[in-house]
Structure 1
Amino acid sequence: MATAGGGGTGAVVLDFYGTLVRMVEPLPPDHRAIFARRGLADQGERWGDQWSVGPAEGEEHLAHSADETAYVTWERDRLRRRARGCGVPEEELDGLVAELDAAMKAVRLALYPDVPGVLTRLRERGLLVGICSNWFWNLEECLAGAGIDGLVDVVVGSARTGARKPHPLIYRTVAERCGLPPGRVLFVGDMWTPDVLGPLAAGMRAVHLHRPDRAVREAAPPLPEGAARITSLSGLIPLLEPGGAAGPGGCG
């Protein structure tokens, strides 16, 4: 396998949630309980999916990503508009929005067991290791909390970049941060469009991680040219061997 100084793959960039970490109990509080404690049970029922208020896949939001204050203000403004549309009185909005914002970010994360070993082996091969994720402003903090910040060279999150996968800007940013052309970057992730189709369109190669215990149990789509599939992160290592789908002489 070529190192960062050669002509082959120089960096392996991985998605974060669903690829390296998963959510574990205790789970974030359900928004309906937050509404109900405030005497707003009916409005809580109108809210719908508590996660759907976030920015959409592929959304560009550069104007809101100037700094953490601007980004958090934008996050809370979205919650405020949604709550107001559900009939929450004006005098209740600020307290409710602050609690909803905190609850949505109160996720407890745990590494998949194979992650530290795989990241270590990638770096032993002389490869840059990157993280590229649609995440809150605190991606670096979450990496440190998971204990893998010392195994990662480049971190690119949507909040600070100003665009969410599969927007081209986020892939361009991670390639630039790696100091490599897109063709020397291998992207690994569990989500089909953000982690496979998006990187391929950006000129990268892609590996679809389709774990058997994934939260969303959909069938894996047929692989396009330039992509491979694994069922555990440890399956990435054989792909990087000479003749493997992502290694020298491979078809990827």
Structure 2
Amino acid sequence: MAAVLFDFSGTLFRVETTESWLRAVLAETGHFLPERRLADVTRALEEAGALPGGVEPVEVPADLADAWSVRDKSAELHRAAYTGMSRRVPLPDPGLHDALYERHMSPAAWSPYPDAAEVLRTLRRRGIGVGVVSNIGWDLRPVFREHGLDTYVDTYVLSYEHGVQKPDPRLFAVACEALAVDPRQVLMVGDNRAADGGATALGCGVHFVDHLPVAERPDALLPVLDLMS
């Protein structure tokens, strides 16, 4: 194997909890919610699937279904889909919906999994190419830089920059071309079997991890090192 492609959310990084997300924005904007109300709003935002990288929505409203299905193809669609979900939940100030969206793009909202640095560092030491292939509507590079992992990534292939989202094999093909490797010598690592499994259409191997909180998944990436040895 010559290279590894990693998904971002739920694979290398995990977004903060919905409660942390909401509390941070309320504090940043000077708003206050009583604890009981905050708990209710947190629950409603989770059910709506309003936090990108967080819990999937219980139900996608009919008027958002089209945008939701292609949300990762552009920055505009991504923002519209997620703020549309958020606006299903009443907040003290309508401007908080956009503030919530902005917050989720900040490096402070993301934490790397405990073994991410070790795995990426070891792959670099072995001379194995590393790419990040993500369905996303914004530039995640600052997250990697802030957490000291950017130096281990050779290429980023982000759906919104190409107008193509996983599982479309074209997105994986872009990454393989950028790394100058045969797809049959590439391992795709991700947490979504439907989306990340699209790499198999090119002949890539796949390895799946569970999308769990950081504290509950300390070493799920380590087997990648054995697969690449």
Which amino acid in 2 is paired with 1:202?
Answer: L
- Name the counterpart of 2:193: 192
Pairwise CA distance, 1:97: 4.8
Contact 1:109 1:146 in 2 (8 A): no
1:59 and 1:202 map into 2 onto residues whose CA distance is 24
- Name the counterpart of 1:234: 222
The reply on whether 1:29 has 2:22 as its aligned counterpart is yes
The reply on whether 1:121 has 2:114 as its aligned counterpart is no
The 1:137–1:124 alpha-carbon spacing in structure 2 relative to 1, beyond 3 Å, is: same
Can you list the C-alpha shifts for 1:160-194, whole angstroms capped at 9, x where unaligned?
12222112221121112112232121111122212
Can you list the C-alpha shifts for 1:12-34, whole angstroms capped at 9, x where unaligned?
1111122112234672118xx89
Pairwise CA distance, 1:140: 0.8
Which amino acid in 2 is paired with 1:16?
Answer: F
Greater CA radius of gyration, 1 or 2?
1
Could you say what secondary structure the match of 2:22 adopts?
coil
Which amino acid in 2 is paired with 1:166?
Answer: P
**Structure 1, unpaired ranges of 5+:** 1-8, 65-70, 216-230, 242-252
Which amino acid in 1 is paired with 2:209?
Answer: L
Pairwise CA distance, 1:122: 1.0
The 1:143–1:87 alpha-carbon spacing in structure 2 relative to 1, beyond 3 Å, is: closer
In the alignment of these two chains, the number of paired residues is: 196
2:227 and 2:188 map into 1 onto residues whose CA distance is 13
1:24 and 1:59 map into 2 onto residues whose CA distance is 21
The reply on whether 1:204 has 2:196 as its aligned counterpart is no
Can you list the C-alpha shifts for 1:198-236, whole angstroms capped at 9, x where unaligned?
11123211112247xx25xxxxxxxxxxxxxxx621111
- Name the counterpart of 2:181: 180
The 1:105–1:123 alpha-carbon spacing in structure 2 relative to 1, beyond 3 Å, is: closer
The 1:79–1:111 alpha-carbon spacing in structure 2 relative to 1, beyond 3 Å, is: closer
1:177 and 1:74 map into 2 onto residues whose CA distance is 26
Which amino acid in 2 is paired with 1:50?
Answer: A
Contact 2:189 2:206 in 1 (8 A): yes
The 1:118–1:77 alpha-carbon spacing in structure 2 relative to 1, beyond 3 Å, is: closer
Could you say what secondary structure the match of 1:155 adopts?
strand
Could you say what secondary structure the match of 2:206 adopts?
strand
The 1:127–1:60 alpha-carbon spacing in structure 2 relative to 1, beyond 3 Å, is: same
The 1:147–1:193 alpha-carbon spacing in structure 2 relative to 1, beyond 3 Å, is: same
1:142 and 1:233 map into 2 onto residues whose CA distance is 19
TM-score for the superposition, normalised by structure 2: 0.67
From the two aligned structures, give the one with the greater helix fraction: 2
1:210 and 1:180 map into 2 onto residues whose CA distance is 27
Could you say what secondary structure the match of 1:29 adopts?
helix
TM-score for the superposition, normalised by structure 1: 0.62
Pairwise CA distance, 1:129: 0.9
In the TM superposition, what are the counterparts of 1:19-168 in structure 2 within 5 Å?
A: 19-24=11-16, 27-29=20-22, 48-51=48-51, 52=57, 56=68, 61=73, 64=74, 71=75, 73-78=76-81, 95=95, 97-105=97-105, 108-168=109-169
1:59 and 1:138 map into 2 onto residues whose CA distance is 15
Which amino acid in 2 is paired with 1:199?
Answer: A
**Structure 2, unpaired ranges of 5+:** 34-39, 52-56, 58-63, 214-218
- CA root-mean-square deviation: 3.8
